[in-house]
Structure 1
Amino acid sequence: MLETDRKRDLIIEGAIKRFIHFGIHKTTMNEIAEDLSVSKPSLYYYFPDKSSLVLGVVEKIFNDYFDVLYRDQKLGTPIEVTLLNIIEIKHKFFLRYYMLHLSYGNPDSSLSSAELKAYLETMVAKNLKFHESVFELAVANKELAPQEDIPKIAELYLSCQSGLTSLCIMHGNKELFPGKKELKIMKDKQISLSKIFIKGLKN
């Protein structure tokens, strides 16, 4: 069982490297098999098709992301620091995996599977719940004024942060991948927004 898990993880890591370099839509299962020096039957044993492999990659990324988020949480940390730490973690994952995001919008059926869509919706809900818990704890610790609808507050906060990310991409340089300047601007704006948002909730 451990050997099976190890081989599956190696395939996912190999797929991530190729996806980041070439994009998901330009990568074939044959190329991944060649990169890893595994037979195609062996590859298809673990992942019957490209859609299942893409799902495995996305699951790996989100598992790592939430592992880091939960590990970073420390009791007694002010909410301002907690949110800034989350922005930093998201920024690091964004830098590492952004080329996977660029594959969206391309005519690749592996990116439009019902399983992938359902999983991404689950992760969005999980991220929302995580942020709800951050705001709830801050209210309980009297860092923030009492709030009537914390889920709405968390949703608004995340929507604002997501909007800043989209603006960074839209107003970046002529290349698909934003330059260091654009990425720094995006991060700085997200930090500023977080500070203003929390300041408003304290009053």
Structure 2
Amino acid sequence: MLTENRDETRERIIDAALKRFTYYGASKTTMNEIAEDLHCSKASLYYYFPDKQALHVAVLEKAGETYFHDLQEKADQAATARQAFMELIATRHEFARRFCRLELFKVLKDKHLVRIANKAFEAARDREIGIITNIIEKGVDRGEMVSADPAKVAALYMHAMIGLRLSLVSKDLSEEISDEEFERVREWQVQLADIFINSLKK
């Protein structure tokens, strides 16, 4: 690791932690295990991250960038607004299943990180609303739908989708979500998307 520059080393640490967190869960992974994966000392990790919580946040940010890259790519490739909406649902579903062990909600419950996490959540929500707004605007331009205020409709749609997702974790934010629950929310989201799309048709 000594031959790499600081940015490269930091990325390697995040990638190693992401692999561990995704497979074993963030809470069950230790800094020692990540250091062993990288063949370095634990002190080397603490040079870049003051504690495991900071590394956890960095891992979530990395996963979030992957998510938004995939969302934007799917939205850009879709031939119709409905196809774009359905691709976004599929991408969200795949992301949530793949990264469910990252324990995002545990970060939100941490009193030391809640301010940072809430700001990140707001930024992520606004970014996703922007992608949805663009889908609606393209749909309007193609004559597929009518909307006087695509941004307002996109925000309403986004908040409704968040509500469906949160309905699964109302019992306990730390509990894992079952395959059946994942599938139920996906089905609800498809139904909700169809309702929105049909309401915007000419």
Common fold: TM-score over 0.5: yes
Q: Superposition pairs for residues 103-122 of structure 1, below 5 Å?
A: 103-104=106-107, 106-107=109-110, 109=112, 111-112=113-114, 114-122=115-123
- What displacement does 1:55 show? 2.8
Q: Superposition pairs for residues 147-186 of structure 1, below 5 Å?
A: 147-170=147-170, 176-186=175-185
33, 49, 54: which is aligned to 2:35?
33
The Cα RMSD (Å) is 2.8
Residues 1:97 and 2:99 are matched in the alignment: yes
Q: Quick one: which amino acid aligns to residue 118 of structure 1?
A: K
* Counterpart-to-counterpart distance in 1, 2:78 and 2:38: 45
Percent sequence identity over aligned pairs: 32
Per the alignment, residue 143 of structure 1 pairs with 144
Per the alignment, residue 88 of structure 1 pairs with 90
Q: Please tell me whether the aligned partners of residues 144 and 202 of structure 1 are also in contact (alpha carbons under 8 angstroms).
A: yes
**Range 85-94 or range 44-53, more displaced:** 44-53
Q: Please tell me whether the aligned partners of residues 25 and 106 of structure 1 are also in contact (alpha carbons under 8 angstroms).
A: no
Q: Please tell me whether the aligned partners of residues 164 and 189 of structure 2 are also in contact (alpha carbons under 8 angstroms).
A: yes
* Counterpart-to-counterpart distance in 2, 1:167 and 1:122: 22
* Counterpart-to-counterpart distance in 2, 1:46 and 1:26: 21
Residue by residue, what CA displacement relative to the aligned partner does 1:146-194 show, whole Å, maximum 9, x if unpaired?
x22222110111111111112234489xx92222222111111111110
**Taking structure 1 as reference, are residues 6 and 38 closer, same or farther at Cα in structure 2, changes over 3 Å only?**
same
* Counterpart-to-counterpart distance in 2, 1:105 and 1:121: 12
Q: Which runs of 5+ in 2 are unaligned?
A: none
- What displacement does 1:90 show? 0.6
Q: Please tell me whether the aligned partners of residues 107 and 117 of structure 2 are also in contact (alpha carbons under 8 angstroms).
A: no
Query: 3-state DSSP class of the match of 1:61?
Result: helix
**Range 179-188 or range 39-48, more displaced:** 39-48
Aligned length: 197
Give the TM-score taking structure 1 as reference length. Answer: 0.82
Q: Please tell me whether the aligned partners of residues 25 and 103 of structure 1 are also in contact (alpha carbons under 8 angstroms).
A: no
- What displacement does 1:57 show? 0.9
* Counterpart-to-counterpart distance in 2, 1:76 and 1:104: 34
Give the TM-score taking structure 2 as reference length. Answer: 0.82
* Counterpart-to-counterpart distance in 1, 2:4 and 2:38: 16
Per the alignment, residue 49 of structure 1 pairs with 51
Residues 1:15 and 2:17 are matched in the alignment: yes
Q: Quick one: which amino acid aligns to residue 140 of structure 1?
A: D
**Taking structure 1 as reference, are residues 45 and 166 closer, same or farther at Cα in structure 2, changes over 3 Å only?**
same
Q: Please tell me whether the aligned partners of residues 23 and 103 of structure 1 are also in contact (alpha carbons under 8 angstroms).
A: no
Q: Quick one: which amino acid aligns to residue 139 of structure 1?
A: V
* Counterpart-to-counterpart distance in 2, 1:158 and 1:71: 18
